[in-house]
Structure 1
């Protein structure tokens, strides 16, 4: 089947009729025509601003203060983590822009048309957890906001399941609002991101300004010493904290093709992401670190949840403005980072039965069932258990994708074959055992030694699930990435990844001749 290569390297299918009848095809998973790939540098910058400026991002940085770091240690940890995770993110983003395909379809090239569901659903269930966490903290912000307006009748309502019923109601309302937006489709998400992106910083700046004013300026905050120092106590926390920073966006490092498939060019999506992720995360981290440090001076404890910190303010007007901005920020981030991807992933599992909107609804339901209020209850669980564990698993998937796309396939894919049964990516009954084994090996190396630090609560044994792998858990994402990459590359030496058929690529817009594109 012929595919058209544009002068800028993007590839298009002139006719999707031959693949539209496949049970592995639906409109949401179809390659985006080049004419409709219109996202600009600003769209990606705004996307990252919307995704990064939210309560969990704030809590990620502020939790480092709660763990004992000073402002400099926390900022170094966050910044370094974001720069590292940007590398696999850009590598995987390339395929989305070149072929117009979402992450689960991209994964078919390496895991098989059926096997890609393993990678996609791993990513999807983690996104469901994040959706639940973001929805919980957004609902909490609504609860606090209405509590300031309605007083004790709202704040001191009868408890159900350990929480006021009004908090559960706020959680439910926040959930419904997000479902209504996602039901309108991807274009509604893009429009929402564009107009909320410049506004979401307001709430965090209000928090910072108030704390700086009350604390007597920035001097007392910057002079606050680290509780860990720069010795062994710091380095013991630094490694797993750095992996947590990477893990925070490791989900997006896999599924950025869900967004870059709409890119107007590789340059636009690369510029947008380079301008977007490091700058926006550094900004929110500085705000979070300074605000939490100042809050510790004012209130005697590091309050890492910004909604709870805002509730301490004496000015009702400031509280309301800050919380409204935080609510908008959380919706913006949650839709882009935690609903779009699993919607595609669930749709990929059952293309003819699950649409993008239905996939979003499934995400919302699982996000409740995962009980996000437990995951978010303690910084040790949030960083060391939740982020550290899933980051290692997704690192293994990223290793397979990067090895497969950049080293084995050299960025050349058979676009139509990604949708066909018994085509070039069918492997063995739709599964690539090599990719699955590489993922399992990488994941075991990464999280096999998962442990709970002494003196903290957590789900893992103190000596690690597999004791001799315990040292690797502090470097879980790196261990998973390297393990998946190396094992998949080793399998490629057997020649088992050679394509079964050829696809002809026809240069577009005046370029002469044809070339053969392998699968």
Structure 2
């Protein structure tokens, strides 16, 4: 989906350069063939960067991060000037207020955003293992993630509010907002910023982890680069243009389900490492078949059971909303897959994490932790 967004940026950028004929080219599959070409080009750029390895990615991220921050601040300055000052950006009223209508939207959206970032919460060791010390990786995360995410959330709200003040309707998509600019230099800079931002986030968050997973799953046949290529192909096969076309499907279905399932994984990991083992592990045994953590033929049935229970509770109630005309928005039944679990669906990530952790600790307390109980350190 991020690659489709990046391709859209190239499509609009090229449209500003090549004129109306680029944007109105013959359609294929519901989109101009030039947009498909832009999508493919962005995909190839991503694959070219990741194919050069983690060191090339580190160098790219080092200059991309400050560039994107500068670009976002420049976008805020532009919309502020266009709106006539900060006042119009700050006085846009809430359409939902603080009543029941707000909370019905807030919690599913919150769970969707947590689900969006829960990938990095699980695969952050793919990056922190390159840190020089434990203090270095803690400092990097503490300074880098909360500060930048808070800043970008603040900038996003202000810029979107400013777009409503200027255009009469909120434009939340930065690509679409950049396309409204009249100055060619400003347009190019804004769209370049969006492209760099999408590249840096997408590769780090969505390509590195599965590439390592595939390489570790079949190390004799799959390298890190091959794993990245397989990931890129899978990213096309899931038809991202269809997933992102409807916000109901994207936020409430896709992110809700994925976030709920990833929450169960996080719950088991947290319970095992922090609650039961108190951060003490026999490191070498983690990599030995038949070793202390081999459990039952390589399977920890307590963890698998906790994943299943947490997963069912987290996503079993997934449902599709119904619009004013009675049309269902999404692939699930309006009453939920398992109707009795529907009230839990809006809190999928939190439900999955909590349920999996509780079940895993409970099973471990009753049946023991299995392998690796003694001598950990």
TM more than 0.5: yes
Structure 1 vs Structure 2 CA RMSD? 1.6
More helix by share: 2
Shift of 1:415: 2.1
Q: Is the 8 A contact 2:294 2:371 kept in 1?
A: no
Who is 1:433 aligned against?
Answer: 301
Q: Quick one: distance in 1 between partners of 2:295 and 2:187?
A: 57
1:413 to 277, 281, 285: 281
Who is 2:206 aligned against?
Answer: 338
Quick check: 1:393 aligned with 2:265? no
5+ residue gaps, structure 1: 1-132, 503-515
Quick check: 1:277 aligned with 2:167? no
Q: Quick one: distance in 2 between partners of 1:184 and 1:324?
A: 22
2:322 to 445, 454, 478: 454
Q: Is the 8 A contact 1:206 1:318 kept in 2?
A: no
The runs of at least 4 consecutive aligned structure 1 residues that moved more than 6 Å come to: none
CA offsets, 1:390-439, max 9 Å, x none? 11111000000001111222212222222222222221221111111101
Who is 1:289 aligned against?
Answer: 157
Aligned length: 373
Who is 1:471 aligned against?
Answer: 343
Q: Quick one: distance in 2 between partners of 1:447 and 1:500?
A: 32
Quick check: 1:491 aligned with 2:359? no
Shift of 1:498: 3.8
2:82 to 214, 224, 237: 214
Q: Is the 8 A contact 1:452 1:462 kept in 2?
A: yes
1:183 to 51, 57, 64: 51
Q: Is the 8 A contact 2:295 2:371 kept in 1?
A: no
Q: Quick one: distance in 2 between partners of 1:355 and 1:341?
A: 13
Q: Quick one: distance in 1 between partners of 2:62 and 2:214?
A: 26
Who is 2:14 aligned against?
Answer: 146
CA offsets, 1:425-465, max 9 Å, x none? 22122111111110111111111111122316212211111
Q: Quick one: distance in 2 between partners of 1:276 and 1:383?
A: 25
2:118 to 250, 255, 272: 250
Q: Is the 8 A contact 1:202 1:322 kept in 2?
A: no
Q: Is the 8 A contact 1:248 1:387 kept in 2?
A: yes
After superposing the two structures, state which structure 1 stretch, 205-214 or 457-466, moved more: 205-214
Q: Quick one: distance in 1 between partners of 2:139 and 2:345?
A: 33
Who is 1:307 aligned against?
Answer: 175
Return the TM-score normalized by structure 2. Answer: 0.95
Q: Quick one: distance in 2 between partners of 1:213 and 1:371?
A: 39
Counterparts of 1:34-433 in structure 2 under 5 Å?
133-433=1-301
Q: Is the 8 A contact 2:24 2:32 kept in 1?
A: yes
5+ residue gaps, structure 2: none
Who is 2:376 aligned against?
Answer: 517
Q: Quick one: distance in 2 between partners of 1:204 and 1:185?
A: 28
Who is 2:352 aligned against?
Answer: 480
Shift of 1:327: 0.9
Who is 1:74 aligned against?
Answer: none
Shift of 1:501: 8.9
